[in-house]
Amino acid sequence: ATAAERALAQQWVLFANATLATALFVPSSREREFPRLMTVLDRLLEGGKPLAGQHWGVADCAVQAYLAYLPIFFPQIELSPWPNVQATIAATQARPAYRTVMGLA
């Protein structure tokens, strides 16, 4: 947990809450920004690697929380162009903590 690692994690949290959230929940941004963001995220999520550091952490939690909303709030969005995003959503939904919070456990 160096200052650089903390800064990177904070950048991902800011990305999730400002950029990704806007791309999901603002219709005009969803049309414009969503495909671009998903393409970049799909590349970064390849192989199930964490977004920052060597282990799953706050950056992953922040981004994956929004990604997990996709099938719930936007089932009409076709995610097949982004298989790594799909795999990340499935892995998030399988996490015991997610299942408990969502009342699925």
Query: pLDDT per residue over 86-95, tens digit each?
Result: 999 999 889 8
pTM for this structure? 0.85
Quote the tokens at residue 44: 């970064």
Residue 15 neighbours by CB under 8 Å, 6+ apart = 62, 63
Residues of the chain with pLDDT below 50 are none
- Please tell me the predicted confidence (pLDDT) of residue 35: 94
Quote the pLDDT of residue 13: 96
Q: What is the pLDDT of residue 4?
A: 92
* Rounded-to-integer distance, Cα 102 and Cα 50, Å: 23
Buried residues in 64-74 as b, exposed as e (16+ CB within 10 A): bbbbbebeeee
